[in-house]
Amino acid sequence: MLELQVSTIVFTVINLLILYVVLKKVLFGRVNRVLQARADLIQQNLSGAEQEKAQADELKAEYEQKLARAHAEAAEIVAQAKTRGAQEYQAIMDQAQDEVRRTQAQAQAQNQADREEMLRSARREVAQLAVMAAAKVAQRELDEQSDRAIAEQFLAEAGERK
C-alpha cells in the first residue's frame, strides 16, 4: 500500500514553493511584461483608431457642410439666372412694345400726312374745276391771283357747309 510520510509531503510542499518563487521571478515576470506590453499596444491601437475615427467624422461633417453650401450656392445661382432671365425677357418685351408704339405712331403720322396731302390735292383739283367753271360762266380769263382768291373763297364756303 501507499505510505504517506510527513517529511515527503513537507519537502514536496517546500519544493513546490521554491519552484513557484523561482518561476515567478524568472518566467512569470517576463510573461507578465510581455502581456502588459501587448495590452499597452492594443490600448494604443484602440486610442489611435478612436482618434482616426474622430478625424474621419470631422472630415465627413466638413464635407457635408461644403456639400450643403455648394447646393445652396447652386440654388442661388439658378435663382439669380431665372431672375436675370425674367428681367431680360421683360426688357425685351418692353423694348418690343416701345418699338410697336413707335411704328404705330409713325404709321399714324404717315397716314395723317398722306390724308392731308390727299385733301390738299383734292382741294386744288376742286378749286381748279371751280375756277374753270367760273371762267366759262363769266366767259373770261382770270389771272392767277384772282384764280387763287376765288378758289380760297370757294373752299372757305365749302368748309363752312360741312
pLDDT tens, position by position, 117-156: 998 888 888 777 777 777 666 655 556 677 677 777 766 7
CA distances for 138 relative to 71, 132, 133, 134, angstroms? 98, 10, 9, 6
Which amino acid does the sequence have at 29?
A: G
List of residues 6+ apart from 5 with CB closer than 8 A: none
The answer to whether residues 151 and 131 touch, using CB atoms and an 8 Å cutoff, is: yes
Which pLDDT value is given to residue 96?
94
User: Is residue 127 within 8 Å of 155, Cβ to Cβ?
Assistant: yes
Per-residue pLDDT, 158: 64
DSSP letters for 28-50: IHHHHHHHHHHHHHHHHHHHHHH
pLDDT at residue number 136: 64
Identify the residue whose cell numbers are 506590453.
Answer: 37
Give every residue of the chain whose pLDDT is below 50, as ranges.
none
User: Is 69 buried (19+), middle (13-18) or exposed (0-12) by CB count in 10 A?
Assistant: exposed
Which residue has 391771283 as its cell numbers?
145
Contact of 123 with 155, CB cutoff 8 Å: yes
Q: Which amino acid is at 93?
A: M
